[in-house]
Amino acid sequence: MSTLNPFTIAQQQLDEAAVRLGLDSATHELLRWPMREYHFTLPVKMDNGATRIFKGFRVQYNNARGPTKGGIRWHPEETIDTVRALAAWMTWKTSVVDIPLGGGKGGIVCNPKEMSNGEKERLARAYIRAVGRELGVHRDVPAPDVYTTPQIMAWMMDEYETIMGYSHPGVITGKPLPVGGSEGRGDATARGGVYIVREAAQAMNINVKNASYAIQGFGNAGQFAATLHQEILGGGTLLAATDSRGGVFNSSGLDPQALVKHKLESGALTGFPGGKPISNEEILELQCDVLYPAALEGVVTAKNASNIKAKIMCELANGPTTPEADKILYEKGVYVLPDFLANAGGVTVSYFEQVQNTYNYYWSLEDVHKQLDRKMTDAFKSVYDMSKKTRVHNRLSAYMVSVSRVAEACKIRGWV
């Protein structure tokens, strides 16, 4: 795993794209930094009567293309630099799928696993009391992220509406359906990833109906990818899946629905009938057509990249591939669908939620799927065309698409 500061990595990635694009120095410098950031000290009454002081952040990285958008993370090791990096990545993510939003991110240093529901609610409301005046559908729209849930979003929306004195459900997305959530949010990340696997396979003349696939990480993104891969592509053989405790493999294929049921009931993949054990390292090097890393960052490195045999690697996880590994995979001919493109389905449906809230009319599930497919397919095409034109690996090509769009918006506004 990389030990570099995540914000330094984000800046280096931008630098490479900026040089390739020939950005002028003012635009380049502008895009290297958050445009605005807030640091909060939040007093919260705990169940035992004591007051605890929490630290929180909100970074509004760039709003040239529209209001900033990005999740709120609750994590004991949260730092401002992690939030800055994630806010930068949100800026490139909303741009690559061409939705009219900028990028942002928030965080609170806390351990929600040690907090009661009442304490979580008071912390959620305290955060909104601190940041609320900087939020809104025309300013900055948060969403769930690591250890934050639809319920937490509902408390935050309620606090915001109470302070403002009017209904404003679009201030936050990822809400439960009864208070303005969108159909189709639950599986949107995996669904968006599978849509672009379909496009990549077509570009590479791979027959997806017969393709084999493997999934590292079997949480929200991984479980939905397991079933949606076959549903959307009309076939395929799930060879293996792993979670933090190891996983299962079968060369004749595993039944994805049964595997998800087994995981939900037993809490693990191991012990699934007909599955031979496979480790988290082995699954990455498996002979298969499509590999979905859907767990952690930094798993594909200079050490194992040359052993990856998949034809397509669809990064549902954030940051699974190190920069050195990217170059090796490109030279080897592994077709990488980079994280901020591959997992952009979630923010795209969050944007649809915001749109539905704003005009107070709600779409059917079919409408959500249709619009998501269109957005992901168009995004894939832009990245594909850029990579053909510039002959660079897909991550750099995706950066070039995103950064050029944000740079153009900055220029048109007269900022640079």
| Catalytic residue numbers, as ranges | 105
The CB-side HSE value for 302 (13 A sphere, CA atoms) comes to 3
CB of 68 to ligand NAD, least distance (A): 17
Helix axes 6-21, 394-412, angle to 10 degrees: 80
- Closer Cβ to ligand NAD, 123 or 221, answer by number: 221
Q: Cα–Cα distance between 400 and 339 in angstroms, integer? A: 14
CB of 38 to ligand NAD, least distance (A): 23
Q: Does 219 bind ligand NAD (CB under 6 A)?
A: yes
Phi-psi region of 174 (alpha: psi -120 to 50; beta: other; left: phi over 0): left
Q: Binding residues for ligand NAD, how many (CB under 6 A)?
A: 20
Quick check: 124 and 155 in contact, CB under 8 A?
yes
Q: Does 296 bind ligand NAD (CB under 6 A)?
A: yes
- Out of 189, 212, 230, 348, point to the residue binding ligand NAD (CB under 6 A): 189
Q: Using CB under 6 A as the criterion, what x/- string covers residues 235-274 for binding ligand NAD? A: -------xxx------------------------------
Strand (E) or helix (H) holding 51:
strand 51-62
Q: What is the DSSP letter of 184?
A: T
Mark the segment that binds ligand NAD (CB under 6 A) among 248-256, 315-323, 367-375, 376-384: 315-323
Q: Does 184 bind ligand NAD (CB under 6 A)?
A: no
- Out of 220, 270, 307, 371, point to the residue binding ligand NAD (CB under 6 A): 220
CB of 52 to ligand NAD, least distance (A): 26
Degrees (nearest 5) of the Cα angle 337, 91, 169?
Answer: 110
Count CB-CB contacts under 10 A for residue 362.
16
Q: Does 304 bind ligand NAD (CB under 6 A)?
A: no
CB of 306 to ligand NAD, least distance (A): 20
- Out of 30, 211, 214, 221, point to the residue binding ligand NAD (CB under 6 A): 221
- Out of 316, 325, 386, 398, point to the residue binding ligand NAD (CB under 6 A): 316
CB of 310 to ligand NAD, least distance (A): 16
Q: Cα–Cα distance between 386 and 380 in angstroms, integer? A: 10
- Closer Cβ to ligand NAD, 35 or 188, answer by number: 188
Count CB-CB contacts under 10 A for residue 35.
18
Give the closest residue to 146 by CA, choosing from 107, 176, 180, 182. 107
Residues near 399 by beta carbon (within 8 Å), at least 6 away in sequence? 13, 14, 16, 17, 92
Residue nearest to ligand NAD (CB): 219
- Closer Cβ to ligand NAD, 151 or 280, answer by number: 280
Between the alpha carbon of residue 349 and those of residues 69, 356, 374, the distances in Å are 12, 10, 12
Q: Does 298 bind ligand NAD (CB under 6 A)?
A: no
CB of 216 to ligand NAD, least distance (A): 5
Which chain residues interact with ligand NAD by CB under 6 A? 189, 216-222, 242-244, 280, 294-296, 316-318, 343, 346
